[in-house]
């Protein structure tokens, strides 16, 4: 059984196949939210953020292939286990039709901020926002005035550049594109993150083409 498919109503680890089902439902007493670590540290180094991002991407890719959209990802949903495993919680209220409400508006995608609901690309936007928060210690957008003002900023303003992201800059920019059709796809993000870990340097990333017929052949043009 696919780990993500079996996890509705549960948390899902960053392990796609190996031991995923055994960890679902396991007590989480040895974990802490990423949000707590960011509050404490103020941010993580790009290499550690990359490792965490890869585990989150594995969970999302598995869920999306099973037809599941999370729609409410934030650092508070990302649980850090003492053994290094990353767990994405919040699938308990998630089905194939995710809620339009988000727990933390700062991690809502532009389309969610406009009230059109979430899709797989919305989860990838949230992954970009979490990567941003990991290296900067704050989300791309947040208003002190109100959640509504945060959503307005997300709707109307482009995401700022993360000055501390190092080799993650292009990945974050590619995930935080306003138009979901222009965001980096999961395979492209995975390739970029793996290259960062293997090479330790920024790598050029080609954004997905806007036109659907070009997007469908994008992976054929730039294979991993």
Residue 80 has pLDDT above 90, yes or no: yes
Q: How confident is the model over 83-96, as pLDDT tens digits?
A: 889 999 987 554 44
Q: Which residues pair with 87 in a beta bridge?
A: 13, 79
Instruction: Specify which residues 58 forms β-bridges with.
Output: none
Do 179 and 210 touch, CB atoms closer than 8 A?
yes
Q: Say what the pLDDT of residue 175 is.
A: 98
When divided into structural domains, the chain yields a total of 1
Domain assignment present for residue 97? The answer is no
Q: Which residues are catalytic?
A: 72
Quick: pLDDT tens for 33-74: 999 999 998 899 999 999 999 999 999 999 999 999 999 999
- In a domain? residue 61: yes
Backbone angles phi, psi at 41, to 5 degrees: -90, -25
- pTM for this prediction: 0.79
Whether residue 218 is predicted with pLDDT greater than 50 in this model: the reply is no
Cβ atoms within 10 A of the Cβ of 133, count?
Answer: 25
Which CATH number characterizes residue 159's domain? 1.10.510.10
Query: Of the candidates 141, 131, 224, 137, which has an alpha carbon nearest to the alpha carbon of residue 169?
Result: 131
**How far is the CA of 65 from the CAs of 58, 62, 97, 173, in angstroms?**
11, 5, 14, 24
CB contact at 8 A, 114 and 105: no
Domain hosting 139: range is 5-21+30-92+103-221
In a domain, 66, yes or no: yes
Query: CA–CA separation, 201 vs 203, rounded Å?
Result: 6
Q: Is residue 98 part of a domain?
A: no
């Amino acid at each position: 059984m696919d780990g993500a498919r079996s996890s509705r109503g549960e948390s899902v680890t960053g392990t796609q196949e190996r031991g995923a089902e055994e960890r679902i439902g396991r007590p989480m007493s040895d974990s802490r939210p990423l949000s707590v670590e960011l509050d404490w540290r103020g941010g993580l180094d790009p290499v550690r953020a990359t490792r965490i991002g890869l585990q989150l991407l594995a969970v999302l890719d598995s869920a999306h292939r099973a037809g599941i959209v999370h729609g409410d990802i934030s650092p508070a949903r990302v649980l850090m286990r003492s053994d290094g495993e990353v767990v994405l919680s919040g699938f308990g209220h998630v089905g194939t039709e995710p809620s339009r409400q988000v727990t933390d508006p700062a991690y809502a995608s532009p389309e969610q901020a406009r009230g059109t609901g979430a899709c797989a690309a919305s989860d990838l936007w949230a992954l970009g926002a979490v990567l941003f928060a990991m290296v900067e210690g704050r989300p791309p957008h947040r208003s002190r005035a109100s959640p509504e003002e945060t959503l307005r900023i997300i709707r109307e303003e482009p995401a700022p550049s993360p000055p501390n992201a190092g080799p993650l800059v292009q990945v974050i920019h590619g995930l935080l594109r306003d138009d979901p059709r222009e965001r980096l796809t999961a395979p492209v993000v995975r390739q970029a993150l793996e290259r960062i870990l293997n090479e330790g340097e920024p790598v050029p990333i080609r954004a997905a083409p806007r036109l659907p017929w070009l997007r469908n052949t994008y992976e054929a043009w730039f294979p991993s």
